[in-house]
């Protein structure tokens, strides 16, 4: 204990994103003291600048690898990749929220402060090399999200969603924490590298503490990525939350949960990979099947996309089951593409409706493709991408995930995954059919055009198509990140 | 030491079970205090005096008092009067009070005077607290700072959820009409009545834009 120096030297650049995001969140809270009108863009602007600064600070040191605070936080390829991804998700979410929060009258500084804090939690989760930091990052992200989900206080659905998410989330956090405690009891450390070292010295599979601890860890993280059977909260939380928040959490929270899983999978669980394959395979199969089959039955687009996001978690789990560097880079690639498609699809939903009304039923989309050709084309692109149809990035992501799984010899998983993709095309195309081939029954849905939101959707469309054609750029990036991360 | 640990652990397990099994929330909270205290005892047997004391001061002291305040405000414990009779309880109270008083009197008699009665052993160079502080500000600095961020977010979140009450109630005039639109679920009338209080109509009338939005979204 006396061997620890009083203050460890810290590389501040490697912590740049963390510092920028926490500073931005606190600055926003302080800004609240200065007077501003209800239509003020100040908070949104500050958060945009903060997110850009966080991304830029990581860009400066993108090639260096460092372990900070005695290995609590590592700055490596995976951290850089996910920090960029989370900053991009944050920027798109802020743009989507810009007019949506004013329209629905939840334009408050705290909204953006919580958004930044949540992003900070995600970055910490991606960069943490210690189970304590993983847990703290997860809590920071989740606490902010619980409040954001319930931000439309006057809506009962929003309150219900927030309460449900909070109670189940607290329960899952308990599981995770108990798992961490048991793993600490079994190995004597919470550091992932040291844990791997301990495990290679002594076989841990006979140790019930370790087995139960690792299972609880998977349960806790599985909840955050909404893997079946821990997915119950997802449709309600996604439906009740303000649509801009749904976009943010569907992309960000899932990617962060998988970031932690990738890290644990690469180091600790990777050492005992063969023993986890059956467990994770079962979860992956359940997740894909339940998500896709239930999505078929939904009439609410938000709920449908929620079940679709469960199904996509299943595809990423296939990559995690495949394991190793290839599996990890496939997961990273899939997560980036998935975040983009999902942000775009939810982003279009934020534009629908007038004032505080929500027009998110499939029937509300009827005829939209002809009245607003731009929106129709964008939505079609996202639906094709989510379904995994060729010219889009979604196709490349699926090809790569299933390719890696085939190489790892997981033929049954791949067959089930492909069958699921075929099922999913049906409900994605249902939306396209509604937009182009149905007449609106009641009053046609009003589209609240807004420049920032439209810009975000446009960026998502462009990148979805670009990465579909030029998948190599992103793929190389993901592979290099994973190589740097090990 | 093992016996001490076993005893404290047994008390901890039993009182934790009582926390979730007892019907009266006040009793549950008091059992939680007992659980915290026995946990502090376990810390003491591990020679973590500082953490043991902090456990008593922060958890058993500050946090539990807040719990009790909330429970008392909510008036949950009034109608659940089961278990020990009032008279027995009052008797127990007297006995415990008398024991405490006697203990205080003995201490008062023996320890009056400045400084300790017997000189303690000389302090070790790096104490428990000091070591904890050093490790907290070096190896665990990052989680420590992140924890403060978590607490900040929790606080902001609690304020957002409670402080918005006034504004949300005014806005519910607008959303009530919006909830009936084809986008949402079917309206839940009983809950709407709970949200929109009749006395708020004059307050909303003071704001022309609120009124306009009600009229605007009420159209089919």
Instruction: Write out the DSSP string of B49-73.
Output: HHHHHHIIIIIIIIIHHHHHHHHHH
What pLDDT score was predicted for residue B125? 53
What tens digit of pLDDT does each residue of A217-233 get?
Answer: 889 999 989 888 888 89
CB of B149 within 8 A of CB of A120? yes
Q: Which of B156, B182, B184 sits opposite A110 (nearest CB)?
A: B156
What tens digit of pLDDT does each residue of B23-54 get?
Answer: 878 888 888 889 999 999 999 888 888 888 88
Tell whether the model's pLDDT for residue B208 goes beyond 60: no
A396 closest CA partner among A285, A474, A458, A328: A474
What pLDDT score was predicted for residue B147? 93
A274 closest CA partner among A404, A408, A406: A408
Q: How far is A7 from chain B (nearest CA, A)?
A: 5
Tell whether the model's pLDDT for residue A56 goes beyond 50: yes
What pLDDT score was predicted for residue A482? 82
For chain B, which residues make up each domain, given as ranges? 1-78, 128-170
Using DSSP's 3-state secondary structure scheme, residue A320 falls into: helix
Percent of chain A with pLDDT over 70: 95
What pLDDT score was predicted for residue A48? 93
The whole-angstrom separation of Cα A225 and Cα A317 is: 10
CB of A318 within 8 A of CB of A399? no
Q: Which of B126, B160, B182 sits opposite A147 (nearest CB)?
A: B160
What pLDDT score was predicted for residue A290? 92
Choice among A71-75, A166-170, A286-290, A403-407 with the minimum mean pLDDT: A71-75
Instruction: Pick the more confident residue, B137 or A415.
Output: A415
The mean pLDDT value for B120-131 works out to: 64
What pLDDT score was predicted for residue A318? 92
Q: How far is B184 from chain A (nearest CA, A)?
A: 6
A114 closest CA partner among A136, A82, A146, A162: A146
Verify whether the Cβ–Cβ distance A133 to B142 is below 8 Å: yes
What pLDDT score was predicted for residue B164? 60
CA distances to A82, A148, B157 from B153, in Å: 22, 11, 6
Q: How far is A396 from chain B (nearest CA, A)?
A: 34
Verify whether the Cβ–Cβ distance B195 to A105 is below 8 Å: no
Question: What residues of chain A lie within 8 A of the CB of B179, using their CB?
Answer: 155-156
What pLDDT score was predicted for residue A53? 93
pLDDT band at residue B184 under the 50/70/90 scheme: very low
pLDDT band at residue A271 under the 50/70/90 scheme: low
What pLDDT score was predicted for residue B78? 55
Tell whether the model's pLDDT for residue A400 goes beyond 60: yes
Q: How many CB pairs under 8 A join A and B?
A: 137
Q: Which CATH architecture has domain B1-78?
A: Up-down Bundle (1.20)
CB of A83 within 8 A of CB of A126? yes
Q: Which of B140, B157, B181 sits opposite A146 (nearest CB)?
A: B157
What pLDDT score was predicted for residue B203? 39
How many CB atoms lie under 10 A from the CB of residue A213? 23
CB-based burial of residue A200 (10 Å sphere; 0-12 exposed, 13-18 middle, 19+ buried)? exposed
Percent of chain B with pLDDT over 70: 62
Q: How far is B149 from chain A (nearest CA, A)?
A: 7
- Cis peptide bond prior to A184, omega within 30° of 0: no
What pLDDT score was predicted for residue A1? 41
Q: How far is B113 from chain A (nearest CA, A)?
A: 37
3-state secondary structure A134-197: HHHHHHHHHHHHHHHHCCCCCCHHHHHHHHHHHHHHHHHHHHHHHHHHHHHHHHCCCEHHHHHH
Tell whether the model's pLDDT for residue B158 goes beyond 60: yes
Tell whether the model's pLDDT for residue A73 goes beyond 70: yes
B218 closest CA partner among B176, B162, B161: B176
What pLDDT score was predicted for residue B170? 54
The mean pLDDT value for B102-127 works out to: 65
Verify whether the Cβ–Cβ distance B183 to A355 is below 8 Å: no
Question: What residues of chain A lie within 8 A of the CB of B215, using their CB?
Answer: none
Question: What residues of chain A lie within 8 A of the CB of B157, using their CB?
Answer: 114, 143-144, 146-147
Specify the length of chain A in residues: 486
Tokens describing residue B152: 């900040």
CB of A93 within 8 A of CB of A344? no
Phi/psi region, residue A69 (left: phi>0; alpha: psi -120 to 50; beta: rest), is left
Using DSSP's 3-state secondary structure scheme, residue A128 falls into: strand
Question: What residues of chain A lie within 8 A of the CB of B135, using their CB?
Answer: 1, 4
Tell whether the model's pLDDT for residue B186 goes beyond 80: no
**B174: contact with A, CB 8 A cutoff:** yes
Ranked by mean pLDDT, the top range of A295-304, A321-330, B193-202 is A295-304
**B210: contact with A, CB 8 A cutoff:** no
What tens digit of pLDDT does each residue of B69-112 get?
Answer: 887 777 655 555 555 677 788 888 899 999 999 988 888 777 65
* pTM (predicted TM-score): 0.83
Q: Which of A6, A110, A133 sits opposite B138 (nearest CB)?
A: A6
CB of A31 within 8 A of CB of A43? yes
Instruction: Pick the more confident residue, B207 or B138.
Output: B138
Q: How far is A144 from chain B (nearest CA, A)?
A: 6
For chain A, which residues make up each domain, given as ranges? 5-484
Contacts by residues B75-78 (CB-CB < 8 Å, ≥ 24 positions apart):
B76/B25, B77/B24, B77/B25, B77/B26, B77/B27
pLDDT band at residue A313 under the 50/70/90 scheme: very high
Tell whether the model's pLDDT for residue A190 goes beyond 70: yes
The label of the residue with tokens 């991304």 reads A55
Tell whether the model's pLDDT for residue B180 goes beyond 50: no
**B187: contact with A, CB 8 A cutoff:** no
What pLDDT score was predicted for residue A153? 82
What pLDDT score was predicted for residue B206? 38
The whole-angstrom separation of Cα A134 and Cα A96 is: 28
What pLDDT score was predicted for residue B172? 53
Question: What residues of chain A lie within 8 A of the CB of B191, using their CB?
Answer: 156
Tell whether the model's pLDDT for residue B215 goes beyond 50: no
Percent of chain A with pLDDT over 90: 47
Greatest CA separation for chain A: 75
What pLDDT score was predicted for residue B214? 37
The whole-chain average pLDDT of chain A stands at 87
**B163: contact with A, CB 8 A cutoff:** no
Verify whether the Cβ–Cβ distance A70 to B139 is below 8 Å: yes
Verify whether the Cβ–Cβ distance A155 to B152 is below 8 Å: no
Verify whether the Cβ–Cβ distance A154 to B161 is below 8 Å: no
What tens digit of pLDDT does each residue of A339-364 get?
Answer: 999 999 999 999 888 877 788 888 88
Tell whether the model's pLDDT for residue A446 goes beyond 50: yes
pLDDT band at residue B177 under the 50/70/90 scheme: very low
- Cis peptide bond prior to A129, omega within 30° of 0: no
Angle between helices A243-266 and A109-127 (to 10 degrees): 10
CB of A302 within 8 A of CB of A349? yes
Q: Which of A7, A151, A157 sits opposite B185 (nearest CB)?
A: A157
Nearest CA in chain A to B153: A144
Choice among A135-144, B119-128, B192-201 with the minimum mean pLDDT: B192-201
CB of A161 within 8 A of CB of A237? yes
Verify whether the Cβ–Cβ distance A154 to B172 is below 8 Å: yes
Nearest CA in chain B to A70: B139
What tens digit of pLDDT does each residue of A2-51 get?
Answer: 444 555 566 777 888 999 999 999 999 998 888 877 778 888 999 999 99
pLDDT band at residue A415 under the 50/70/90 scheme: very high
Tell whether the model's pLDDT for residue A179 goes beyond 60: yes
Q: How far is A8 from chain B (nearest CA, A)?
A: 6
Verify whether the Cβ–Cβ distance A72 to B139 is below 8 Å: yes
> What one-character-per-residue DSSP string does B148-168 give?
HHHHHHHHHHHHHHHHTHHHH
The whole-chain average pLDDT of chain B stands at 71
Percent of chain B with pLDDT over 90: 17
The mean pLDDT value for B164-191 works out to: 46
Question: What residues of chain A lie within 8 A of the CB of B184, using their CB?
Answer: 157, 357-358
Instruction: Pick the more confident residue, B196 or A150.
Output: A150
Question: What residues of chain B lie within 8 A of the CB of A153, using their CB?
Answer: 161, 164-165, 168
CB of B53 within 8 A of CB of B104? no
Q: Of A73, A303, A357, which to mutate for an interface test with B (greatest number of B Cβ within 10 Å)?
A: A357
Nearest CA in chain B to A3: B135
């Amino acid at each position: 204990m006396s061997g620890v120096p009083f203050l460890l030297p810290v590389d501040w650049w490697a912590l740049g994103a963390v510092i920028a995001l926490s500073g931005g969140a606190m600055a926003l809270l302080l800004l609240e003291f200065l007077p501003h009108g209800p239509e003020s863009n100040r908070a949104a602007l500050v958060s945009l600048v903060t997110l850009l600064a966080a991304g830029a600070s990581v860009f400066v040191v993108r090639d260096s690898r460092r372990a900070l605070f005695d290995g609590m936080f590592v700055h490596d390829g995976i951290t850089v990749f996910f920090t960029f991804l989370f900053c991009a998700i944050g920027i798109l979410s802020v743009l989507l929220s810009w007019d949506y929060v004013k329209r629905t009258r939840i334009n408050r500084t705290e909204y953006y402060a919580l958004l930044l804090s949540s992003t900070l939690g995600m970055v910490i989760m991606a960069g943490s090399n210690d189970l304590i930091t993983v847990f703290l990052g997860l809590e920071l992200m989740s606490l902010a999200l619980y409040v954001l989900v319930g931000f439309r206080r006057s809506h009962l659905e929003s309150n219900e969603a927030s309460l449900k998410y909070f109670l189940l989330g607290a329960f899952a956090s308990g599981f995770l924490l108990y798992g961490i405690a048991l793993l600490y009891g079994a190995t004597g450390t919470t550091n992932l590298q040291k844990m791997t070292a301990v495990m290679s010295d002594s076989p841990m599979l006979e140790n019930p503490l370790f087995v139960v601890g690792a299972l609880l860890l998977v349960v806790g993280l599985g909840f955050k990525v909404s893997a079946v059977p821990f997915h119950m909260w997802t449709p309600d939380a996604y439906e009740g939350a303000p649509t801009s928040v749904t976009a943010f959490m569907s992309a960000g929270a899932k990617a962060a949960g998988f970031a932690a899983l990738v890290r644990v999978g690469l180091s600790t669980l990777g050492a005992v990979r063969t023993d986890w394959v059956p467990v994770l395979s079962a979860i992956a199969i359940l997740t894909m099947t339940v998500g896709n089959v239930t999505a078929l039955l939904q009439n609410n687009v938000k709920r449908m996309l929620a079940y679709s996001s469960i199904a996509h978690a299943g595809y990423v789990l296939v990559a995690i089951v495949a394991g190793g560097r290839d599996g990890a880079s496939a997961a990273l690639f899939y997560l980036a593409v998935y975040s983009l498609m999902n942000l775009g699809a939810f982003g279009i939903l934020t534009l629908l409706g007038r004032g505080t009304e929500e027009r998110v039923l499939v029937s509300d989309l009827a005829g939209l493709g002809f009245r607003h050709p731009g929106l129709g084309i964008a939505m079609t692109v996202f639906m094709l991408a989510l379904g995994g149809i060729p010219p889009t990035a979604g196709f490349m992501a699926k090809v790569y995930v299933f390719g890696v799984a085939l190489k790892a010899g997981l033929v049954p998983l791949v067959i089930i995954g492909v069958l699921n993709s075929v099922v999913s095309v049906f409900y994605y195309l249902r939306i396209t059919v509604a937009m182009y081939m149905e007449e609106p029954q009641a009053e046609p849905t009003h589209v609240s055009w807004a420049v920032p939101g439209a810009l975000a959707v446009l960026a998502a469309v462009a990148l979805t198509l670009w990465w579909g054609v030029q998948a190599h750029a992103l793929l190389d990036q993901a592979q290099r990140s994973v190589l740097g991360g090990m | 030491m093992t016996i001490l640990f076993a005893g404290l652990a047994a008390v901890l397990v039993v009182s934790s079970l009582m926390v979730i099994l007892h019907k009266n929330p006040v009793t549950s909270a008091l059992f939680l205090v007992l659980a915290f205290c026995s946990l502090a005892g376990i810390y003491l047997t591990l020679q973590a005096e500082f953490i043991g004391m902090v456990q008593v001061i922060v958890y058993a002291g500050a946090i539990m008092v807040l719990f009790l305040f909330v429970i008392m405000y909510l008036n949950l414990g009034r109608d659940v009067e089961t278990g020990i009779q009032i008279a027995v309880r009052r008797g127990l109270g007297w006995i415990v009070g008398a024991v405490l008083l006697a203990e205080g009197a003995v201490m008062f008699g023996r320890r009056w005077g400045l400084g300790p009665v017997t000189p303690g052993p000389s302090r070790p160079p790096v104490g428990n607290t000091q070591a904890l502080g050093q490790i907290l500000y070096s190896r665990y600095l990052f989680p420590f700072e992140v924890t403060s961020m978590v607490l900040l977010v929790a606080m902001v979140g609690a304020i957002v959820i409670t402080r918005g009450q006034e504004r949300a109630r005014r806005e519910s005039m607008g959303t009530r009409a919006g909830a009936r639109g084809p986008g949402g679920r079917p309206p839940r009338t009983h809950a709407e009545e709970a949200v929109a209080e009749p006395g708020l109509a004059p307050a909303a009338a003071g704001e022309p834009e609120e009124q306009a939005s009600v009229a605007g979204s009420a159209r089919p």
